[in-house]
Structure 1
């Protein structure tokens, strides 16, 4: 049996090393041993959302696993055959549904039948892609690559209660397609949504007014959305930039004691940094495109900067797949090329 050994302290030293390693282990059938898991974080080791991802991956491919306990810094994962089916996983709090989904989806796309996954947890979290980001940005690009999935948010989940419900239907990939994103194309629309649960409507009004002023968004493209079915009070501001070749979404999370103006400013600042760059893909989307493009065997994009997440993900992919990932400076910023060898 071929074993891949991954030192979790490499690069950014976070949970992405674990998630990408699990995805690639399932797809390639290669056993993997992780050490120093999340050594770069203030609380190293496996946290609850990482444990959910591990146990979910184990269930999807009938893996043999050891070390899958909270706070563990070592894990071995021996994958079996990927099985399509109906799955449900509960993160037990506000852990990110999106990060668990991104661990599972590459494997379920390679299964031999349709799958459904229901996740209960956080849908709009700080320091993680939102369910809205997957729905409006990442999955449409995956569909262009031949990997189709439909995501529905039945209930939003905010910190600390979580309890959000996300359901995804996944079709098996018939043939992966290369995706090349050298440019984002013409700007079509700028819009924003303010999601509010248990907070005054005036919060949404103030956030959207700042987006209107700073990004020159048309009022018809701004709206507040009542998501009061959420288990606790919460607020998320989503700024959406729709271009000819892709959509980008910037999310800022409102928390207790945080002014609406600060929430709006965070989202607007991220959007403006992206708009001022000439690159096609924002820095967060960049490292989420790398793995599916490597699986497809070909792809490319431009992005403003090389992040630790991007270079670390490239390192992990290189442990499993025989593909070349070239990262070089160009006039738009950074160009990333992926090619199977």
Structure 2
């Protein structure tokens, strides 16, 4: 997809290849279509495209087809409810419209992403989490599954959270996706905690054949609670998604996280290789944080969009 976005040339981009040579050209705005033709994640397509289209000469529209709620990738609900508001703190605008949801194994989903180019990205500081002010979410079913499955996921998640957080109302909606807005059969849940300083942390889980609905809800709740316990201002799944934007931004960005994931270590390694940005990772010395809390700091390169 990136090759098409920038009139690039690529060798070795086939299934089974162990080496790729990529030579980028000039980034183009306009409409671009990418279709995984499977349940491959549209959210991962969005991740690789965003840093490019932000530095195009004109606005872009990306029509991304595949899976919207896939294993081993952010769910589209996470992208909309957590990633979008947090990444917009870099002074960019992300408009994402779900045309149709698609699930494993066939995909069939479609998301339209619209973005305008920026002159330069601002740095961010996400180190003060504040206190949890609100917990909300959505449990969904689509296709052949009854709404009871969504209600069971939501109820189990609420019970799990209330064992640890008793003084906060937890609002998880159970929804059945309209048949004309979903392709295939799927289920899942996402739960988001909003804090007094505007941070968003989440837990999510997908249903699958033979997996008890209560277990799906409890998995998401326990993931959220784990993210809250470590005291970070971003959750375990957002930390690596912010690295490339920190590298490109103009100035020093800081985020407070829990344990550093392998995805984040990899993202930092390649961001430094590709951009010459400098990252440091240190243990958080904040007394309110757990021993697993870290500060990721980056001196961004302040990339300028010479097209604007």
1:30-109 mapped onto 2 (5 Å cutoff): 56-109=1-54
Closer/same/farther in 2, CA of residues 179 and 69 from structure 1, 3 Å limit: same
Whole-angstrom distance in 2 between the partners of 1:225 and 1:210:
15
Is residue 201 from structure 1 mapped to residue 138 from structure 2 by the alignment? no
Task: Give the aligned partner of residue 291 of structure 1.
Answer: 244
Higher relative contact order (CA 8 A, sep 6+): 2
Extract unaligned runs of 5+ from structure 2: 163-167, 302-308
Structure 2: distance between partners of 1:121 and 1:292: 25
Alignment of 1:8-27 (within 5 A): none
- Residues in 2 aligned to 1:191 and 1:161: alpha-carbon distance in whole angstroms: 30
Kindly tell me the number of residue pairs found equivalent between the two proteins. 285
Residue aligning to 1:218: 169
What is the Cα deviation at residue 159 of structure 1? 0.5
| Conserved 8 A contact 2:280-2:298 | yes
Give the Cα–Cα distance (whole angstroms) in 2 for the partners of residues 110 and 246 of structure 1: 27
CA contact (8 A) 2:157 2:214 kept: no
Cross-structure match for 1:266? 219
* Partner residue in 1 for 2:165: none
Greater fraction of residues in helix: 1
Partners in 2 of 1:72 and 1:278 — Cα distance?
A: 41
Q: Which residue of 240, 245, 268 corresponds with 2:198? A: 245
Normalised TM-score (structure 2): 0.89
| Cα distance in 2 for residues equivalent to 1:141 and 1:205 | 29
Q: Deviations over 1:31-59 (max 9, x none)?
A: xxxxxxxxxxxxxxxxxxxxxxxxx1111
Deviates more, 1:228-237 or 1:156-165: 228-237
* 1:94-129 residue CA offsets vs partner (Å, 9 max, x unmatched): 001001110001100111111100111011111111
**Deviation at 1:181?**
0.6
- Pairwise CA distance, 1:283: 1.4
Q: Is 1:306 aligned to 2:260, yes or no?
A: yes
Normalised to the residue count of structure 1, the TM-score between the two structures is 0.81
When structure 1 is superposed on structure 2, of 245-254 and 103-112 the one drifting more is 245-254
Deviation (angstroms), 1:215: 1.7
Deviation at 1:274, TM superposition (A): 1.1
1:186 deviates by 2.6
The root-mean-square deviation of aligned C-alpha atoms, in Å, is: 1.4
- Separation (CA, whole Å) in 2 of partners of 1:192 and 1:140: 15
Distance 1:191 1:83, change over 3 A: same
Q: Check whether the contact 1:212–1:218 (CA below 8 A) recurs between aligned residues.
A: no
